């Protein structure tokens, strides 16, 4: 049952990063106020997640495991991710200035996004191969983007609603997230 | 002279400690470190483990960063902070794996994810890199305790509502008769986490609004 499709659907719908694993919540609540920002952030996170998964999967399978130093993975992963974010930022700036302007400040913020470190740790924990890691990162990133887009669309409408004073802003956003999470629990029986 | 200076710093020590727990409570007031807050609060046991872990890492990293604050070049300070924090998280993770395997299992990937907990890097950047060692220790303990208290409040509500009983270190403290037979298990599932934190946040704000008026 550990086929690529299972991993992909599992990451997008069932073990959704935001709604069931609670990873990447800070950017989720910070960025999900406007639809356009949500799309930029989602793209940036997906991109970095896939690249980081490739790099860390190679390092894990070909360096850490053969030399039996798996316990060093936390330090190495966080350094690899920080370096990768810098490189991706430079490359995008040189090659595609429109994309760079659209992603703007979100790229550097991704270093401390737990979703990126989370996906690399999940890959290591499940002993995924390189291809499986890429699929799981892609699924995780797309799932993250999907929820970010749904959430921002709901919050744009919610701005117009008359919310009780103490519920305005973050508390009502959490309630919306809770209802979304409840809806996504319906996918549990899918696989 | 020396005596008054000591008194002064002791007073400051307690002030920093109290500030971290109440005024700048990392979870309800600053809304930092959300991921572990929601993920590990399914039981009070997990919350205590996570809280202890965060206090350990925060205290350790604050001490080291405060000690090296004068020799760290400004340009590379963030990578240095991250490596120090990651080293302490690795130590913590190995300690938990060796001495508390059940807790290590139930915290899962959220234990290594302490590295990217914004509270810890935030304290390193805002406080420990600018203040002497003792004050940084107070700040670390205070903020760590504030975080732990928030985790305990959330996990207490979730465990009691979601299972109808309270189990700490394998001992059943109490069970509510009707609730434990048909518990509101939604509260230990992900949606329950969002609802509990939303209501607690609204409550903190309501109290703040009432106090101001």
Report whether pLDDT(B73) > 50: yes
Whether A27 shows a pLDDT value over 80: the answer reads no
- Tell me whether residue B40 is exposed, middle or buried, using C-beta atoms within 10 angstroms of its C-beta: 0 to 12, 13 to 18, 19 or more: buried
How many residue contacts between A and B have a Cβ separation below 8 Å? 109
DSSP three-state, residue B19: helix
Longest dimension (CA), chain B: 65
Count of CB atoms within 10 A of residue B176's CB?
14
- Give the C-alpha distances (Å, rounded to integers) separating B141 from A32, A182, B11, B18, B100: 33, 36, 15, 10, 22
Specify the residue for token string 């390092």: A59
Instruction: Supply φ then ψ for residue A126, to 5 degrees.
Output: -90, 5
Q: Which single residue is written with the structure tokens 């797309």?
A: A142
The arithmetic mean of pLDDT across residues B83-107, rounded, is 91
Closest A-chain CA to B190 = A20
Q: Which of A16, A18, A23, A168 to mutate to test the interface with B (most CBs of B within 10 A)?
A: A23
Q: Answer yes or no: do A178 and B115 touch at CB < 8 A.
A: no
Q: What residue has token string 């609204």? A: B202
How confident is the model at residue A123, as a pLDDT?
A: 87
Q: Is the Cβ pair A178, B121 closer than 8 Å? A: no
Please, what sign has the CA dihedral across residues B98, B103, B108, B114?
negative
Domain boundaries along the sequence of chain A: 16-189
Q: Is the pLDDT of residue B10 over 90?
A: no
| Position B212 pLDDT exceeds 60 | no
What is the C-alpha to C-alpha distance for residues B12 and B24, in angstroms, rounded to an integer?
Answer: 16
CA distance B70 to chain A (A): 23
Q: How far apart are CA A16 and CA B136, in angstroms?
A: 37
Torsion (CA) B81, B85, B86, B87 in degrees, nearest 10: 110
Task: Please give the pLDDT value at position B24.
Answer: 65
Residue labelled with tokens 């935001």? A18
| Minimum Cα–Cα distance from B78: chain A residue | A82
**Complex ipTM value:** 0.82
Minimum mean pLDDT range among A35-49, B14-28, B58-72, B143-157: B14-28
Is residue A189 scored above 90 in pLDDT? no
pLDDT in tens, B117-127: 878 888 888 88
pLDDT band at A101 (very low <50, low <70, confident <90, very high): confident
Residue B212, token pair as written in the block: 């101001």
Confidence of residue A188 (pLDDT cuts 50, 70, 90): confident
Inform me whether the pLDDT recorded for B93 exceeds 60.
Answer: yes
Signed CA dihedral, A173, A178, A182, A185: sign only: positive
Q: Taking a C-beta distance cutoff of 8 angstroms, is the pair A89, A113 a contact?
A: no
Residue B208 has pLDDT above 70, yes or no: no
Quick check: B189 and A166 CB within 8 A? no
Residue A53 has pLDDT above 70, yes or no: yes
CB contact under 8 A, A71 and B206: no
pLDDT confidence tier of residue B166, bands split at 50, 70 and 90? confident
What mean pLDDT value characterizes chain A?
84
CA dist B175 and B200 (Å) reads 23
Å between B68 CA and nearest CA of chain A: 19
pLDDT of amino acid B177: 78
pLDDT in tens, B27-59: 776 677 777 788 888 889 889 999 999 999 999
Joined tokens for residue A180: 């979304």
Q: What is the pLDDT of residue B90?
A: 93
Residue B6 confidence (pLDDT) above 50: no
B97-117: per-residue pLDDT in tens?
999 998 898 888 888 888 888
User: Looking at residue B51, what is its pLDDT?
Assistant: 92
B116 with A112: Cβ contact below 8 A: yes
Strand (E) or helix (H) holding B173? strand B171-175
Lowest mean pLDDT among B68-72, B133-137, B205-209: B205-209
Measured CA to CA, the distance from residue A190 to residue A13 in angstroms comes to: 9
């Amino acid at each position: 049952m550990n086929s690529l499709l299972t991993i992909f659907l599992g990451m997008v719908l069932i073990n959704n990063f935001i709604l069931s694993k609670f990873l990447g919540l800070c950017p989720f609540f910070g960025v999900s106020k406007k639809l356009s920002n949500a799309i930029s952030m989602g793209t940036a996170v997906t991109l970095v997640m896939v690249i980081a998964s490739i790099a860390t999967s190679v390092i894990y399978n070909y360096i850490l495991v053969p030399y039996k130093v798996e316990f060093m993975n936390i330090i190495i992963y966080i350094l690899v991710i920080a370096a990768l974010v810098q490189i991706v930022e430079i490359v995008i700036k040189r090659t595609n200035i429109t994309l760079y302007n659209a992603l703007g400040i979100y790229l550097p913020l991704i270093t401390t996004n737990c979703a990126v470190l989370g996906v690399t740790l999940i890959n290591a924990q499940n002993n995924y191969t390189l291809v499986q890691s890429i699929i799981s990162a892609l699924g995780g990133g797309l799932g993250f983007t999907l929820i970010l887009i749904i959430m921002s669309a709901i919050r744009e409408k919610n701005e117009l609603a008359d919310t009780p004073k103490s519920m305005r802003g973050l508390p009502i956003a959490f309630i919306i997230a809770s209802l979304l999470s409840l809806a996504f629990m319906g996918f549990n029986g899918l696989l | 002279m020396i005596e008054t200076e000591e008194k002064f710093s002791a007073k400051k020590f307690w002030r920093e400690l109290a500030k971290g727990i109440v005024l700048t409570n990392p979870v309800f007031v600053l809304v930092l470190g959300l991921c572990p807050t929601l993920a590990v609060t399914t039981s009070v046991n997990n919350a205590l483990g996570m809280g202890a872990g965060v206090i350990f890492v925060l205290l350790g990293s604050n001490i080291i960063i405060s000690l090296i604050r004068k020799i760290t070049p400004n340009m590379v300070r963030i990578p240095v902070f991250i490596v120090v924090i990651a080293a302490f998280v690795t130590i913590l993770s190995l300690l938990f794996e060796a001495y508390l395997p059940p807790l290590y299992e139930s915290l899962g990937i959220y234990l290594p994810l302490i590295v990217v907990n914004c509270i810890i890097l935030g304290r390193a950047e805002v406080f420990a890199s600018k203040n002497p060692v003792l004050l940084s220790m107070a700040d670390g303990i205070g903020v760590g305790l504030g975080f732990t208290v928030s985790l305990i409040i959330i996990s207490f509500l979730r465990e009691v509502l979601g299972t109808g009983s309270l189990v700490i270190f394998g001992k059943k403290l109490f069970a509510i008769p009707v609730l434990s037979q048909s518990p509101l298990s939604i509260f230990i599932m992900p949606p329950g986490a969002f609802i509990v934190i939303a209501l607690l946040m609204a409550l903190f704000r309501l109290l703040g609004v009432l106090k101001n008026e």
